A and B are shown apart, each in its own frame.
Chain A
């Protein structure tokens, strides 16, 4: 690569980073500002006081919400991994009539807008007594066409010989699934896991509908609540809450970026 091309690329990279990261950095910066500084429209805080963070945690039970979000995200992640991998396994390793039709049915669910099903789902959740508890926040999301698709693509890369070898050895199907397919697909499972975690963590409309007590509310709703309650009075506090909310996912993303990219594209295209 020629020197000029190298440096233009760097220049573009840096410029793009600055533009793209600005909102996040800006939120960080504001989260340290006093109310007056915010109103003056400063970009950089004069001092890094943690007061806003203290206030944020005081005003809404952020910590509690964070724990809820964690619980819900982990639960959904585990559920999606299990349910999707079971389905993907069937699609790859079990031959039966109508398999392709069912697979098509699965894929077609990606086309159904969640909002189109929102009202009946809400009623279902209500009938099942799932309002205001973790069940309502998690179980409806366990089945995931995208996840099934992603894992199916991964499972397809597992040589069929592995399956046949265990058939010859007399290993049961489920044992093969559990002891071979899952461990071998670790990377894709991690990818899907990160993806599930992020999307669940960031879920907004559904938790808004099915939670109305602080006991199970997730942090996104907490944020929205904080925003309704506090905005004019204190942007700084709200931004502190924003930072608290985005920090875990950003960290997760930074750690899992490489794997995520690998796994996502693998599932998406091939």
Chain B
């Protein structure tokens, strides 16, 4: 079906004769600063390749953009795509699997963290280069814990504990709530993770890894647990609706509007730096401790466009390899909170030093290491993931309107099915 011609594009060169590699990403704020620093260092480290990072908005916006230009000369050489875009990228036919370069280069992938790289492997083929992987964590305000008489070193682990803690943390002035106990961003990823951490699947066919997914199954018991949690807490008045914007959520935490919330490990460094109180980080809560299966990775990986010249591809591959070196990964980990793709990075001195300063960073790494590898924690593979996420978000939002959790979930599942059906006709 694809229109992507096999004709290779010309290699773009910079004024100084370096091969230009355009790199689209979705890293904003402090993350963008760190990324730019790394790119800068890379550009300075050699004289053949010049990487040009371009911010393209959120993951969703960036992927939208990529889709519009994929296969044309306007497409970037390297594209950062969030984990749920994996299937879409593979199906698009507009990318070259990095396996090709791994093979050509005899690159040793065993140095990678298995839990991460396996997400981007389909049928034994490595499609994209893992780069920034994260997991969801519970972030909380230690000062608020103390004030509420809770143990800041013993954050809630189960839903019940979470509810109880949230109740204590919720502060009212008159009938105006000045501090809410808990919040979850209206974003599909958190729901997916809450389901996965209980071992629940998102779609059928083993989360789409044993064949194209046809049916959403996230409205099962695990999904209902998650929705019930939100619903119950919202009804109790301990849950705050922060909307869909990551920044708004973090702002709400920093301004003490919420005492606990779920965040990506990628946000932790900035949070700890900026919060006017002590920040605690803990594992994702589960309904009951025995349910705990670990988490699926989040974040994003780097994809190589198809249709770019060999020279550009090589240059891009060189940059990808650079990013995977322990030194760079170490720096990236401590500055962003993303995992090191290459575990050797954790041995680097700066990591050790930073972990002492920011013990919170280690929590996320540990959580990943504790994860049991199952189809649930490997994450779902579906091409219409972004669309499905919108449906789930609408489901979450409808909870605040008094819709029953089960109904909301079923509706989201039904609409996801429709999206799958349409998607599978393509």
- B232: Cβ under 8 A from any A Cβ: no
Q: Identify which of A39, A214, A228, A233 contacts B57 (C-beta below 8 A).
A: A228
> Complex Cα distance A229/B245, Å?
11
**Contact assessment for B57 and A213 in the assembled complex, using a CB-CB cutoff below 8 Å:** no
Question: Shortest CB–CB separation between residue B324 and chain A, in angstroms?
Answer: 26
> Complex Cα distance A233/B247, Å?
8
Question: Shortest CB–CB separation between residue B53 and chain A, in angstroms?
Answer: 10
> Complex Cα distance A76/B232, Å?
55
Query: Chain A 166-186 against B: per-residue CB contact (8 Å), 1 yes, 0 no?
Result: 000000000000000000000
Nearest-neighbor residue (CB-CB) of B52 within chain A: A213
Q: Identify which of A126, A229, A232 contacts B251 (C-beta below 8 A).
A: A232
**Contact assessment for B29 and A131 in the assembled complex, using a CB-CB cutoff below 8 Å:** no
Question: Shortest CB–CB separation between residue A213 and chain B, in angstroms?
Answer: 6
Question: Shortest CB–CB separation between residue B389 and chain A, in angstroms?
Answer: 17
- B74: Cβ under 8 A from any A Cβ: yes
> Complex Cα distance A129/B73, Å?
8
**Contact assessment for A132 and B74 in the assembled complex, using a CB-CB cutoff below 8 Å:** yes
In the complex, chain B residues whose CB is within 8 Å of the CB of A213 = 22, 54
> Complex Cα distance A226/B226, Å?
34
**Contact assessment for B65 and A212 in the assembled complex, using a CB-CB cutoff below 8 Å:** yes
In the complex, chain B residues whose CB is within 8 Å of the CB of A232 = 245-248, 250-251, 254
Query: Chain B 350-374 against A: per-residue CB contact (8 Å), 1 yes, 0 no?
Result: 0000000000000000000000000
In the complex, chain B residues whose CB is within 8 Å of the CB of A233 = 29, 247
- B72: Cβ under 8 A from any A Cβ: yes
- B424: Cβ under 8 A from any A Cβ: no
- A57: Cβ under 8 A from any B Cβ: no
- Tell me the chain B residues, 230-257 only, with Cβ under 8 Å from chain A: 245-248, 250-251, 254-255
Question: Shortest CB–CB separation between residue B75 and chain A, in angstroms?
Answer: 9
- B56: Cβ under 8 A from any A Cβ: yes
- A230: Cβ under 8 A from any B Cβ: yes
**Contact assessment for B56 and A229 in the assembled complex, using a CB-CB cutoff below 8 Å:** no
**Contact assessment for B255 and A214 in the assembled complex, using a CB-CB cutoff below 8 Å:** no
- A106: Cβ under 8 A from any B Cβ: no
- Asked, given contacts A212-B69, A212-B74, whether A230 binds B29 with beta carbons under 8 Å apart, the answer is yes
Query: Chain A 200-232 against B: per-residue CB contact (8 Å), 1 yes, 0 no?
Result: 000000000100111000000000110011111
Q: Identify which of A126, A129, A225, A231 contacts B245 (C-beta below 8 A).
A: A231
Question: Shortest CB–CB separation between residue A7 and chain B, in angstroms?
Answer: 41
- Tell me the chain A residues, 229-251 only, with Cβ under 8 Å from chain B: 229-233
**Contact assessment for B54 and A39 in the assembled complex, using a CB-CB cutoff below 8 Å:** no
Number of interface residues of A (CB under 8 A): 18
- B55: Cβ under 8 A from any A Cβ: yes
Query: Chain B 19-55 against A: per-residue CB contact (8 Å), 1 yes, 0 no?
Result: 0001010001100100000000000000000000011
In the complex, chain B residues whose CB is within 8 Å of the CB of A229 = 28-29, 32, 55
Question: Shortest CB–CB separation between residue A233 and chain B, in angstroms?
Answer: 6
In the complex, chain B residues whose CB is within 8 Å of the CB of A212 = 24, 54, 56, 65, 69, 74
Nearest-neighbor residue (CB-CB) of B255 within chain A: A39
**Contact assessment for A131 and B69 in the assembled complex, using a CB-CB cutoff below 8 Å:** yes
> Complex Cα distance A214/B24, Å?
12
Query: Chain B 116-127 against A: per-residue CB contact (8 Å), 1 yes, 0 no?
Result: 000000000000
> Complex Cα distance A213/B54, Å?
7
- Tell me the chain A residues, 147-179 only, with Cβ under 8 Å from chain B: none
- B68: Cβ under 8 A from any A Cβ: yes
- B58: Cβ under 8 A from any A Cβ: yes
> Complex Cα distance A131/B70, Å?
12
- A122: Cβ under 8 A from any B Cβ: yes
> Complex Cα distance A141/B198, Å?
54
Nearest-neighbor residue (CB-CB) of B27 within chain A: A229
Question: Shortest CB–CB separation between residue B35 and chain A, in angstroms?
Answer: 12
**Contact assessment for A126 and B72 in the assembled complex, using a CB-CB cutoff below 8 Å:** yes
Question: Shortest CB–CB separation between residue A215 and chain B, in angstroms?
Answer: 10
Question: Shortest CB–CB separation between residue A179 and chain B, in angstroms?
Answer: 43
Question: Shortest CB–CB separation between residue A69 and chain B, in angstroms?
Answer: 18
Nearest-neighbor residue (CB-CB) of A126 within chain B: B72
**Contact assessment for A228 and B74 in the assembled complex, using a CB-CB cutoff below 8 Å:** no
In the complex, chain B residues whose CB is within 8 Å of the CB of A126 = 68-69, 72, 74
- Asked, given contacts A212-B74, A228-B57, whether A122 binds B68 with beta carbons under 8 Å apart, the answer is yes
In the complex, chain A residues whose CB is within 8 Å of the CB of B57 = 224-225, 228
In the complex, chain A residues whose CB is within 8 Å of the CB of B73 = 129
Nearest-neighbor residue (CB-CB) of A213 within chain B: B54
**Contact assessment for A228 and B28 in the assembled complex, using a CB-CB cutoff below 8 Å:** yes
- Tell me the chain B residues, 122-167 only, with Cβ under 8 Å from chain A: none
In the complex, chain B residues whose CB is within 8 Å of the CB of A209 = 68
In the complex, chain A residues whose CB is within 8 Å of the CB of B22 = 213
In the complex, chain A residues whose CB is within 8 Å of the CB of B24 = 212
**Contact assessment for A131 and B251 in the assembled complex, using a CB-CB cutoff below 8 Å:** no
In the complex, chain A residues whose CB is within 8 Å of the CB of B255 = 39
Question: Shortest CB–CB separation between residue A55 and chain B, in angstroms?
Answer: 13
> Complex Cα distance A46/B74, Å?
46
Additional pairs, 10, CB under 8 Å, beyond known A131-B68, A229-B32, A229-B55 = A39-B255, A122-B68, A126-B68, A126-B72, A131-B74, A212-B56, A225-B57, A230-B28, A231-B248, A232-B254
- 23 residue pairs A–B, Cβ–Cβ below 8 Å: A129-B73, A131-B68, A131-B69, A209-B68, A212-B54, A212-B56, A212-B69, A212-B74, A213-B22, A228-B28, A228-B58, A228-B61, A229-B32, A230-B28, A230-B29, A231-B245, A231-B247, A231-B248, A232-B245, A232-B248, A232-B250, A233-B29, A233-B247
Interface of B toward A, CB cutoff 8 Å: 22, 24, 28-29, 32, 54-58, 61, 65, 68-69, 72-74, 245-248, 250-251, 254-255
Nearest 8 A-B pairs (CB), nearest first?
Answer: A232-B247, A229-B28, A232-B251, A131-B74, A231-B247, A132-B74, A212-B65, A228-B57
